[in-house]
Amino acid sequence: MTSDDDVDRAVLAYLEAHPSAADTLEGITAWWLEQRRIRYGVEIVSGALERLITAGSVERLRRRDETAPLFRLTLSHDDCSS
């Protein structure tokens, strides 16, 4: 069984290694994590993203065309980790 912290750390580790990355929930699940041979369901990754947003590490970008939002490292993330 995977802990919430494991999922949060996996998403954040990818973003810290690729600070300009931004993708949809499905893209994060399918590409960011599976490339690292980490397999989580969309619901689990969604929970991680919500926790990381609440912590101020990740931000949700709503798009004008109302398609799925993008998630990325918060621009002030360096300030949060200091």
**How many angstroms separate the CA atoms of 46 and 60, rounded?**
11
- Specify the pLDDT at position 77: 58
What pTM did the predictor assign?
Answer: 0.78
What does pLDDT average to over the chain?
87
20: Cβ contacts below 8 Å, ≥ 6 apart: 72
What are residue 74's DSSP bridge partners? Answer: none
4-80: CATH number: 1.10.10.10
- pLDDT tens column, 6-35: 899 999 999 999 999 999 999 999 988 887
